Structures are given as structure tokens and as C-alpha cells.
Structure 1
Amino acid sequence: MNRQIPVQKNQTIELHIHTLGHDGQGIGRYEDFTVFVPEALPGEYIQAKIIKVQKNYAVGKLLEISDNKTASLRVDPLCGIAKRCGGCQLQHMDYQAQLLFKQQLVIDNLERIGKFKDIQVHPTIGMENPWSYRNKAQVPIGSTDSEAGLISGFYAAKSHEIIPFDSCAIQHSQNDELVLAVRKIAEKYGVSAYNEKLHKGLLRHIVVRTAFTTNEVMVVIVVNGKSMPHQDKIINEIATLSANIKSICLSINTKKTNVIFGEQTKVLYGSDKIFDYIGDIRFGISARSFYQVNPVQTEVLYTKALEYAALTGKETVIDAYCGIGTITLFLAQKAKKVYGVEIVPEAIEDAKYNAEINGITNVEFAVAKAEDWIPKLSIRPEVIVVDPPRKGCDQALLDTIIDMRPKRVVYVSCNPSTLARDLRILADGGYELKEVQPVDMFPHTTHVECVVLMSRVDK
């Protein structure tokens, strides 16, 4: 017999929130039926309006919190649009509580998906100042009702509705200022906003990158076309906005897609790169380079990865998914030889360039799928490091790692669920999960990075 669902759409209910879901929403039980309520926090008694009903759960909108039972971990968001913008899901939550939530999120995934027990998951390493930490702003552009009027902002949660804003609490202030200034210059010269539904209009995104250690800035204008009207005048005005601007690029993206950058990038002013440091290592960053957006915590993350690699100067190391060589070059400081492999050709060109400008010669890079390339090496690495995208490692790569039998595997992850899945495969293949270190790379969001050490069990 099918159980009757105890709630209906538009119904208002009273609910006790007992925990948080993986997306940061409060979870309560109404007549033993699960209800998710964004912005609600554990310990709160609330009133919620049901806005969505499914077979096994419902989603509610927070209407009111009982005044005398408000959770002690609730704080006022610093950002005025935090409730509407989809960028920060946890600004209403005390920062220390956020760190505990992320540690528990990792533990829950490892236990539920990975079937691990009694794992050593250290407390999440947070930031002393968890604001203004992002070095890159990627801001979509929309239009106003007035002719040639433009708006810039972030998308509302689970939509492509632009929530206008002039400043973001987690962005470097220079990024905010330049996005606003570039938008006004484009507006002055009548540049139209791109309409993704109609696939018409020109200006899609304004992207600004600030290197934290050098203060160098790159501005990338993403357009649905091959040029802009009054392009020379626009670029000249942008170049005068700040002496820190070292590069202005045009990204040509004429496809009907949600991908931000196009495949062709033109340098319109200055260099094709800006430069930043992580620790003592200098990195050249081009328009499409993947470079961690929180440089302060990136150094924490990579230092922990280096610690887990436990290098003495005699080891051969493989860095799969090496990108522009960030972790590779960190490892090279302590290893005999490091091989980096990445499927994106432009990233490998950047990696080789970064090795050259730092005078690091004990590295070798290849453009290939890691699972295809690694078995062809006539070496047996002592350590393999992986830092995959959110989807985790390919099964073939995990099989290759198990076959190569390195002493240690250091896994850097941005997704606890795929991390747990992959660690179970490695554990079944002869590796022991030693310890896990969560790092808060993205304060006030539900995202968390982890560094994991696994050691081979000799049989």
C-alpha cells in the first residue's frame, strides 16, 4: 500500500529542523516525512510554506523562525542579496559552524558512499578572514528596460535570472570595481547584452582576474561575435581604469551554450598572461587557465598535499590531472622527478611555461589521458597525486593506479561524494585510507576541498 503524503503544495506547516542537507538546506520531519527548507538551520522551530512535493520529500520556503528558539549559530548575512543570489548558500550560518558542517559532510559521504568506518577526518582548515577571497569574477551581463541599459550580477539559485549587484562580499574589491566600470563603458558605447533565450545580443560576460600577490589584473570580455562596436575606444578606456591592468582579452563565444568562454581568445591590450605566486612558485595565468580562485587556501591545500606525499628527494611522482602544473611544481621542490599529465593542450603549454620561468627542470609534462599515458612510462612511481574535476577519477585511471602499486596515493578532491566512491575502489584494490584533511576553499558556500592520504597495504 502506498503511503499517503502528509503535505500539499502551498500548505503552511510548523517544523523542527534537526540537520543540514549536503546543499546546506535545513532538514525537518513532518509526520515522519522529509522536508527540505533552504536558509533554515539545525535547532530552529520554523513555519514553512510547501512549494514542491515529491514522492519521498517536499521543499518548503522559510516563512518565520520562532523568536525564542532561534539557533545560536544563525548570523546576519554580510551581503544584502545573499538570500536571492545563488552564490553563497551559508552566509546566514556562523563561520565556525560552517567548518563543522563541512567536516561532517565529508564524514557522512565517506561512511554512506565509501562504506568506511572510524576514519580520521581532521577539523576543516578555515580562513582567518573568510571574505573577499575570490581572485576571479565571472559576471553575466543582462539588459534593462532602457535602450542599451546593462545590468551585471550573479544568477539566482537554480536559474539564469540575473540578480543585479555592484559588490560581492567574497570577491576581491578590485574585481567588483572593474566589472562595474567595464559594464558602464560598454553601456556608454551602446554594446548590447546577450539574450541566451533568443541567442541574440553581444556582451555575454565580463571576467576579471586579480593576482593577489602581484595585484596584476586581466580583463576578459566574452562576446557573441568576433568584435565589438567602437572596440578600440572601449579597450583604451578600460586600459586607463587602473595601472594594475596588464591584459585585456576578447573571448569569442558564438555558440548557444552555458559555457562561459569561447574557443578563440584575442589579446587586445598588454600581455596574454598575468602573474601570481603560490608560495615561492610563480605562475603565468592566461584567460582560460584553470587557477584556484582562493589563493590563500590554495597554498594551505597544496602544502598539505606535499606533506602527505612525504617526499625525501628520491621519489618519482606522477601528477594526474595536472592542469597548469600548480601541484606538479609544488611536488618538484621535494621530489627527484615529477611527471604531469593533462588532456587539455593549452594547460600543458602553461605548465611547461611555468616550469621554465621558475627554473624547475625535474618535471616532464604530457598531453594525454592519464590512464592511457601512465602505463607507457617505464617507471614505477612511489607516489601518485590526483586532483580530478567534480566527476572524480575515471575508472580506468583508478585501475591503472592499482596496477602501478605506488606506495602512496594523494587524492585532492572538490567533491566529497565522488571522492568517497573513488576511495572505496582504491581501498578494495589494496590501499588503506589513512587520513583526510578538509580545507575551506569556498567560505559561505557548501563546497569543500579535501586532501586524502592512502597507503598501499603490502600483502
Structure 2
Amino acid sequence: MSKSNPPVKPGDQLTIEIDNQSHTGDGVGKVDGFTIFVPSSLPGERVKVKVTKVKKTYAHAQVEEWETTSPDRVEPPCPVFERCGGCQLQHLAYPAQLEMKRCQVVDSFARIGGLEEVRVLPVRGMEQPWHYRNKAQVPFAKRRGETVAGFYASASHAIVPFSHCMIQQDANDRTIQIVKEAVVELGIPPYEEKIHHGLLRHVMVRTGKQTGDVMVVLVTNGHRLPRKEELIARLKESVPGLASVVQNIHMRRSNRVLGQENRVLWGQGWIEDAIGHVRFRISPHSFFQVNPEQTVVLYEEVRRRAALRGDETVVDAYCGIGTIALYLARDVAQVYGVESVAEAVEDARINAELNGIKHATFETGAAEEVMPRWVKEGINPDVIVVDPPRKGCAPELLDAAMQMGPQRLIYVSCNPATLARDAAILAEKGYFTDEVQPVDLFPHTHHVECVAVFTPKDR
């Protein structure tokens, strides 16, 4: 079969066996060896489908009828699951979700890293995998003259309205509905993306799981917020635990949720929450894990695998607001954090002070530039922790980490593909891992977090 001549075309109707699942949760079948991705289907199912899109090496199709169904299929409890893009796996029983994610990590290490010998442990899941998210970002829009709010449909900016999200903390749901009712009654116009007109783009709500603090961030396409005082009064009256109301100014045509400028409208410009024994101040731009219960599980894996005795020096190379660095601080002699975002570094310093931690140093800059200077200054860490964004570690950062010669490099990853790629790079530099521990921070989605420990071969 020629790659330029696929065996199917848009509109074709056919019956296929689903024998695999993609990293995004779609079922995968074959026609004459040609890959077809089928959302909502599961491995082991036989389905009648209609082809919707064809590329040179793969196609997409939609299910028209199930001839057989998987024993792992369950009824999604969310009424808008099929339309909303927030979750991808509610139709798959939770134990099977965990195994799917483990297989995703196994596949990444074998296919991308060429490291089939690395053992991938069972995924550490949640006992109650619902209502875990402490942050909601909800777009507002105008539809047929009415204000709507919801989550985006998959691969779209079409808004799917909702009243109750199965993976959000209840406080977030309630607050979003209160804001929606208030802005409708007060006549605050929603943003219209296509014509770049209107005011209210998004509402972001953050809730402190341990503290009960609630922050409301109103993202606006302009500086003026009409009927501001009435809106604030309504929120103060109706939102339990309200600690902060912030206006975020975002006037660019952009898919980013937040702009750069924040104005505190009421209360303080932050809320507080805790991860285990460490308290954190969280501002609108702060990166803070959305599942605090599982974050403790993740960070305990980091702490345990670091095998700390109490006299170590630790470097956190993507420290953000200091979450991992400060979580480890009580078990080490000295901790250093480096982060390219100046506001995050300032938050990290505040968080160290908030917890009475005096042996933590945070610096602004690119880790690959700061770390070599630290070596010249005599800073030789026993343990380096990296928790990079989805794109993984910059090669220069891995070079800088290897120059420091740590006893252990602990890699926290939100993307198995880039973890596997970087594991192969580290192996070339003489640092190896025997096993990977996945942790489910995002139940009912296709995402999975991992922890891997790399050590020099000669130790």
C-alpha cells in the first residue's frame, strides 16, 4: 500500500476491531495495516464507524454502532462527557484507566527511549478519583444573544455549558455558577472571540483544599469593569471562604488564559493552601498542582527515592513557587531552587519565609546558565530534582546537571514521551534508571505523572 494512497476516504463506512488505545485515549484500529483513530471506543470492541478525516498515514472515524463492547466500559456519570473536552476516559473503568496509563509509559520507554528493560510500576491511583481539581478556568461567550460559560469541546473553542463538573471541587462549581448569575444580572458583556469584542473572557477559580480559601480571577478584554462594586458585593455575600477577587487584563488575540497585568479588586492578591506539611501562597499566575491529594503521593515518592539522610544539598532545577524544594527542605541541609519566571521566584522566597525555612535559596534565571555558575561557586548537590514542562528538559540543562555530578537525579515528568527521550540522553551521559513510578494526578483524563531516579552507572 502506498502512503499516498490510503485505503479509506472520508465518508466511508466500515467495521473494525479496536486493538489498542492512543496516548490521548482514542481507540485504535487498522484497515489493511492503515491506522484509524476512533474516539469513544475501547480495545476489544468491534465497531461500525464512519471515516471523518484522512491523512497520509492515518485517519479519524466516529462510532456509528457498537457490535461488541469491552468489559471495562462503564457509563460516564457526567451528562456532557461526550461533548466536553475536559475528560477523555470517563467511559473506561478506573482500574483499566490506570493500566492504560502504565502501558502508555511502557510504550514511550520502548518506542521513544529504546529502553525496554526499564520496569514501569503499577500506577498509584486515587481511592476516590472525583472532585479533585482545585482550579477551574472557564471561558465565557455570547451565544444567540445569551451569556454562556463552560469548558471547550475537544479540539475546539466551542463552549459546552455545564452546571456540575465531576472532576472539580464542589466549591469551584458553586463559585463559577455564582459568577455567571451575577454577570448576567449585572449586564457585564462576555467576550466574543471571533470579533475580539466584549469584556469577560474567562473566570478562573482557585480553592485551597486545606484552607478553604477561594480566589476569583476575572479575565477581561479591557481595563474598565462595569458595576464592579456590585459584583464584588455579590461575591462576598455568596461565596464561602472568599479571600481574593482579582481582575486580570488580557487584551491580546491569544489562546492564553491570563494576561500579564493583575489588579486586586478585593481582599488580598493570593490564597494559601498546603501540600502535606508545607504551606504555600498562591497568586493568579502561580503554578500549583491541581490535585493536592495526589501531589502529596507524588512528592512522597520523590522524597523516598531521594533517600535523604539530612546532610544533603539539593538543587530543584524547575522550582516554580518552590513546591518540591520546600517539601524536601526539612530533610536536607541546604536546598537551592532556580526558575526563569521572576514572579515565581519571589513567591518561592515568600513561601520559604511563610514556613520558617531559612536554608532555602532561590534564584531567577535559566537553570542551564545558573547551575554551571553554582558549580564554580562550590555548590555541589547530592541530589538534583527536575520537574520540567511537557516539552521536557532542555539539552543544556541536562548537560549542566551532569556537570554537577549528583548522586541521584530525580526526574518528575508530566509527559512520558519526553521523559523517555531524556532518559535515553541521560543514559548516553552515564546516568541510568531501573524503574519508573507513575502517579495518577489527573483521573479520567489521558495525562499521567511519573517519577524516575537516575544514578551513575559506577555507583
Same fold, TM exceeding 0.5?
Answer: yes
State the match for 1:29 in structure 2.
Answer: 30
Distance, in Å, in 1 between the alignment partners of 2:54 and 2:253 is 32
State the match for 2:413 in structure 1.
Answer: 413
State the match for 1:143 in structure 2.
Answer: 142
What is the 5 A alignment of 1:47-58? 47-58=48-59
What is the 5 A alignment of 1:293-442? 293-377=290-374, 378-442=378-442
- Taking structure 1 as reference, are residues 270 and 31 closer, same or farther at Cα in structure 2, changes over 3 Å only? same
State the match for 2:124 in structure 1.
Answer: 125
Residue in structure 2 matching 1:281, options 265, 278, 281? 278
State the match for 2:8 in structure 1.
Answer: 7
- Residues 416-448 of structure 1: per-residue CA shift (max 9 Å, x gap): 111111111111101111321100000001000
State the match for 2:254 in structure 1.
Answer: 257
State the match for 1:63 in structure 2.
Answer: 64
State the match for 2:225 in structure 1.
Answer: 228
Residue in structure 1 matching 2:238, options 220, 241, 264? 241
Q: Secondary structure of the residue that 1:240 maps to in structure 2?
A: helix
Shift of 1:242: 2.4
State the match for 1:290 in structure 2.
Answer: 287
State the match for 2:450 in structure 1.
Answer: 450
Distance, in Å, in 2 between the alignment partners of 1:220 and 1:32 is 49
What is the 5 A alignment of 1:40-189? 40-66=41-67, 69-146=68-145, 149-189=146-186
Q: Secondary structure of the residue that 1:420 maps to in structure 2?
A: helix
- 2:277–2:327 Cα contact (<8 Å) kept: no
Shift of 1:451: 0.7
Q: Secondary structure of the residue that 2:121 maps to in structure 1?
A: coil
Amino acid at match of 2:59: A
Shift of 1:379: 1.5
- 2:423–2:432 Cα contact (<8 Å) kept: no
Q: Secondary structure of the residue that 1:197 maps to in structure 2?
A: helix
- Residues 189-247 of structure 1: per-residue CA shift (max 9 Å, x gap): 11111112211110000111111111110011000011211111111111111231011
- Residues 323-381 of structure 1: per-residue CA shift (max 9 Å, x gap): 00000001111111000000001101110111101111111000010010011112211
Name whichever of 95-104 and 429-438 sits farther off: 429-438
Shift of 1:117: 2.1
Residue in structure 2 matching 1:196, options 193, 196, 199? 193
Q: Secondary structure of the residue that 1:260 maps to in structure 2?
A: coil
Distance, in Å, in 2 between the alignment partners of 1:353 and 1:413 is 26
Amino acid at match of 2:372: P
Distance, in Å, in 2 between the alignment partners of 1:288 and 1:2 is 49
RMSD: 1.1
Shift of 1:77: 0.5
Distance, in Å, in 1 between the alignment partners of 2:118 and 2:421 is 15
Name whichever of 133-142 and 266-275 sits farther off: 266-275
Distance, in Å, in 2 between the alignment partners of 1:158 and 1:323 is 28
Distance, in Å, in 1 between the alignment partners of 2:60 and 2:284 is 39
Amino acid at match of 1:174: A
Amino acid at match of 1:112: R
- 1:313–1:336 Cα contact (<8 Å) kept: yes
- Residues 50-80 of structure 1: per-residue CA shift (max 9 Å, x gap): 00111111111011111xx311000010101
Shift of 1:388: 0.5
Distance, in Å, in 2 between the alignment partners of 1:403 and 1:20 is 40
Question: Under a length normalisation based on structure 2, what TM-score does the superposition of the two structures give?
Answer: 0.97
| Identical amino acids, percent of aligned pairs | 48
Q: Secondary structure of the residue that 2:85 maps to in structure 1?
A: coil
- 2:245–2:267 Cα contact (<8 Å) kept: yes
Shift of 1:31: 2.5
Distance, in Å, in 2 between the alignment partners of 1:189 and 1:241 is 15
Q: Secondary structure of the residue that 2:119 maps to in structure 1?
A: coil
Question: Under a length normalisation based on structure 1, what TM-score does the superposition of the two structures give?
Answer: 0.97
Amino acid at match of 1:405: G
**Runs of at least 5 residues in structure 1 that lack an aligned partner in the other structure:** none
- 1:435–1:454 Cα contact (<8 Å) kept: no
Distance, in Å, in 2 between the alignment partners of 1:235 and 1:423 is 50
